[in-house]
Amino acid sequence: MRESPERGGVAASVAVVADAAAAASEGRYADALRGVCDALDKTPDDVELVFAKGSILFEWGRHWEARKALVQAEALGLRDKTLYERLGWACMWTTGAASAESWMRIAVAMDDASWLGHFGLATVARYLGKIDDAVAGFERALARAPGNVNCLVNLAECKTAQNQLDSAEAYARRALEADGDSVLGWTNLGIVLIAQYHFSEAADAFARAERLDAAAGGGSDQGLNLGNCLRDMGDAEGAVEFYTARLPHRPSASGHARRRESWGTGASSQRSRGRHR
């Protein structure tokens, strides 16, 4: 459902919005924004142009500016579920989950059949620490979009947080059935397997995630998880060697911290063995 106030110059603004949408879809956000802003100079209260401006900024990742424009569109009378979803996410990424909740609820109320609104509201609940509400919300979203990987990986993470590990593993494996190339899916599976002390299987999952991420040109460092597996399997010395060999090629503060932790674990184990000889 979409409602917007009556206004003049409809044909002109529709053409500008269409051109801007085409430019944004090609990643030409500056061109798209320029065209909309030029039109807004002439008709500053054109709600469709204001919404287009907010949407371009949102897609561009300029969420503070997007939030301001989207709030303006709502104040000018626009009532649209996409507006409320974007307002929710823009608030989520700027002013926090609490400020996003009311917008997400409006989006759900406007279109209960859409999985996106339920997913957004569940994400807000999760960030607010309301894990039970988050699980219920992600399950509602999943019911409306069966096999949706985003819903499944979030459910796996929530169930892990609830220490319901069998359920978490089931959701993680369902995510991989839906998309076997999901880096997050393999990472989540590895995390669940570590929690179940299945370190060897977890290491395989993290290794798979790292290969997929590297093939996609991603920047996540699954090596941190692999090193943790070695340490948790009792091979602290192997973990230290792993991090030492890896850090010159993939330097990171986290990597150095994990190496120190592994070294400390190994040193502690050696002292313990010495006392019991």
Query: pLDDT tens digits for 48-72?
Result: 999 999 999 999 999 999 999 999 9
Predicted TM-score (pTM) of the model is 0.80
Burial of 258: CB neighbours in 10 Å, binned 0-12, 13-18, 19+ = buried
Half-sphere exposure of 110 (CA within 13 A, CB side): 19
Burial of 35: CB neighbours in 10 Å, binned 0-12, 13-18, 19+ = buried
Identify the sign of the CA torsion 196, 202, 203, 204.
positive
Q: In whole angstroms, give the CA distance from residue 156 to residue 166.
A: 10
**263 falls within a domain:** yes
Short-list 147, 234, 161, 221, CA closest to 191: 161
AA identity, residue 53: K
* Beta carbons within 8 Å of 22's beta carbon, 6+ residues apart: none
When divided into structural domains, the chain yields a total of 1
Chain segment 192-233, per-residue pLDDT in tens:
998 888 888 988 898 898 889 888 887 666 666 666 666 666
State residue 79 phi and psi, 5-degree precision: -130, 100
Chain segment 115-130, per-residue pLDDT in tens:
999 999 999 999 999 9
Q: How confident is the model at residue 266 (pLDDT cuts 50, 70, 90)?
A: very low
Q: Is the pLDDT of residue 6 over 70?
A: no
Q: In whole angstroms, give the CA distance from residue 38 to residue 44.
A: 10
Element containing residue 186 per DSSP (H, E): helix 183-195
Q: Which domain holds residue 264?
A: 230-277
**265 falls within a domain:** yes
**277 falls within a domain:** yes
Residue appearing with tokens 């995510």: 175
- Give the DSSP letter of residue 240: H
Element containing residue 164 per DSSP (H, E): none
Contact 81, 107 (CB under 8 A): yes
